[in-house]
Amino acid sequence: MIAVGQDGKGRLAIIAGSGYLPTYVAAAARRAGENPVVIVLKNEADRDWSAYDHAVLGVGDFAGFQQIFDSYDVHRIIMSGSVRRRPEWREIRPTWQSLRKMPGVVRTLLSGGDDAVLQMVIKLLEGKGRRVIGAHEIAPDLLAATGPLGKHSPSDDDIRDVRQASKAADALGALDVGQGAVSVGGRIVALEGVEGTDQMIERVAALRAEGRISPRRRGVLVKLCKPQQDVRADLPSIGLSTILNARKAGLAGVAIEAGRALILERDAVIAAADEAGMFVYGIDRGLNAEDLT
């Protein structure tokens, strides 16, 4: 007989993609007295889960998910980590209950944006009293706070770039494409696509090396929730690699949405930013950019 979670709430399941976020969430869950079961996404997850009850499943194996949920009496589900590719429709193993939804599932996988796909996945995972919750509900300490995290704050020029990049990130998010934008000298030079944040910043570094971006203006990366973002999945996040790549690209700092963005490896992020003379700043969306300082 498998024990249920604390207070009769049932077990917590963590669907783990790549990156550090799933490990932070799993550790936070244990500190909170939970006994999470981890569903390790095949060809995506890149961490060692041998210390946890776990199963390895394909991204599209919804029947397998339901079997694990039933076996472990799962009541709550967290989706965490990066997923590099969408499953082919041939890889999808639907549940009996979801068979009638398959035409819509295939259409969404083929042509829907990331948020549309996540909404679809949440609907397929929920049911039988189960619900998907946000990673921040288990690990609230990962959320960015308002204001500077380290020693440095944005200058007046940086604030102008924050304002411009925020507008661009909002417009991009409304199209359900990405969450990030880079502004240099008040000019948008990069928008995040399916390649992800680190690769976008690498493009900025390449443009800088080619002389297509002024070496005299530093610039800012901004990451915001999409206007239609479901905060239960895919919150904007930054980690140490974000800061290191931003430094290589010559950026002055990184601004993220306070209360709706995650900071992984927080101590390392702050230390690296401080050493590089860069700021990491939490934006309060209720304030104007002029109010940052």
116 and 230 Cβ atoms separated by less than 8 Å? no
231-262 pLDDT, tens digit per residue, is 888 899 999 999 999 999 999 999 999 999 99
Region of residue 16 (left: phi > 0; alpha: psi -120 to 50; beta: else): beta
**DSSP 8-state assignment for residue 86:** P
51-65 pLDDT, tens digit per residue, is 999 999 988 888 899
213 and 184 Cβ atoms separated by less than 8 Å? yes
99-136 pLDDT, tens digit per residue, is 566 666 667 666 667 677 777 788 878 888 899 999 99
H helix or E strand, kind and range, residue 277: none
Phi first, then psi: what are they for 113, rounded to 5°? -75, 175
Q: Which two tokens mark 230?
A: 């479901």
Q: Count CA within 13 A, CB hemisphere, residue 170.
A: 8
Phi first, then psi: what are they for 186, rounded to 5°? 80, 5
Does residue 70 surpass a pLDDT of 90?
yes
The set of long-range contacts for 30-36, using a CB threshold of 8 Å and a minimum separation of 24, is: 32/138, 33/6, 34/5, 34/6, 34/138, 35/3, 35/5, 35/11, 36/11, 36/12
The confidence band for 290, taking pLDDT boundaries of 50, 70 and 90, is very low
- Given this model, what pLDDT does residue 98 score? 63
Q: Under 8 Å CB-to-CB from 27, ≥6 apart: which residues?
A: none
Reference 249, options 196, 195, 189, 289; nearest CA is 189
- Given this model, what pLDDT does residue 31 score? 94
Percent of the chain at pLDDT > 70 equals 86
The confidence band for 6, taking pLDDT boundaries of 50, 70 and 90, is very low
158 and 181 Cβ atoms separated by less than 8 Å? no
pTM: 0.84
| Number of neighbouring beta carbons within 10 Å of residue 100 | 9
Which residue do the tokens 């936070």 mark?
A: 28
